[in-house]
Amino acid sequence: MSETPLTILSVAAHPDDLDFGCAGTTAALTAAGHRVVYCLVTDGQAGGFDNTITRDEMATIRRKEQTEAAAVVGVDELHFLGFPDGAVEATIELRKAISRVIRQVKPDRVITQRPHRDFDRIYGSHPDHIATGEATMCAVYPDARNEFAHTSLLEDEGLEPHSVPEVWIIGGPDADVFVDITDTYDAKVEALLCHDSQMQDPSRIPDLIREWGERVAGEGSLAEGRLAEAFRRLETA
């Protein structure tokens, strides 16, 4: 992990996506002095199990849960874009919204979800995740770096173009970065447990995350007993 302080922007579709996907890495980054900023495309109002409350109420709950979870892993800046949960598309509007955050934050790295379907695991292919990954990739290149894309960002908001040097895609495909999260496993679990509205059986989370971490560590040839999260790194500069 770089010794030079970095700014990392993590973009995902729903509250809790980043905690499942990369909270251990996030905790390790912030502990090492790096700045991590979250960008959530939706408020997750289509999630949960409580049909006695409105979807606006669920959105409020999930923003609060995500803010608390982020604090656990050292993140205190969150951008909620407010797109409708369950209906995310890689539109020009979403590309512009993510480009705006990139120009505001000026990250050295963007972490996001895979922009294509995983034919081996349907649960890794939520349409909102795919659309978010695709829109984020488009925002990184060409939108955020091009002064002639989304011209109002510069003309009306004064946001200068920004070129992101690299993107890390959570989980791959063909992962080539494996981050050891053994020391931040507890923080990852604690962050996930903040999402109480999404948990029917919170007791299963510690074992589930340990099993995932051990499997990924094995794929990355880490020592036995270690835990890891995986990414595919793309150079974009």
Confidence of residue 177 (pLDDT cuts 50, 70, 90): very high
Determine the pLDDT at residue 95. 98
User: What average pLDDT does this structure show over 131-136?
Assistant: 98
Mean pLDDT over the full length of the chain: 95
Q: How far apart are CA 63 and CA 195, in angstroms?
A: 10
Q: What is the CATH number of the domain that holds 153?
A: 3.40.50.10320
Chain-centroid distance, C-alpha 23: 9
CA separation for the pair 45, 200 (Å, rounded): 17
* Distance separating alpha carbons of residues 144 and 171, to the nearest angstrom: 24
Q: Could you give phi then psi for residue 185, rounded to 5 degrees? A: -55, -45
The total domain count for the chain is 1
Question: What radius of gyration, in Å, describes the C-alpha atoms of the chain?
Answer: 17
Q: What is the mean pLDDT of residues 165-176?
A: 94
Domain extent for 60 = 7-235
DSSP 149-185: SSTHHHHTT--------EEEEET-SS--EEEE-GGGH
- Asked if pLDDT for residue 1 goes beyond 80, the answer is no
Instruction: Judge contact between 29 and 36, C-beta under 8 A.
Output: yes
Average pLDDT in the 25-51 region?
96
Give 28's pLDDT tier (boundaries 50, 70, 90).
very high
Residue 2 lies in a domain: no
Structural domain includes residue 68: yes
Residue 1 counted as domain residue:
no
| 80 bridge partner residues | 40
The answer on pLDDT for 2 being more than 90 is no
pLDDT of amino acid 123:
73
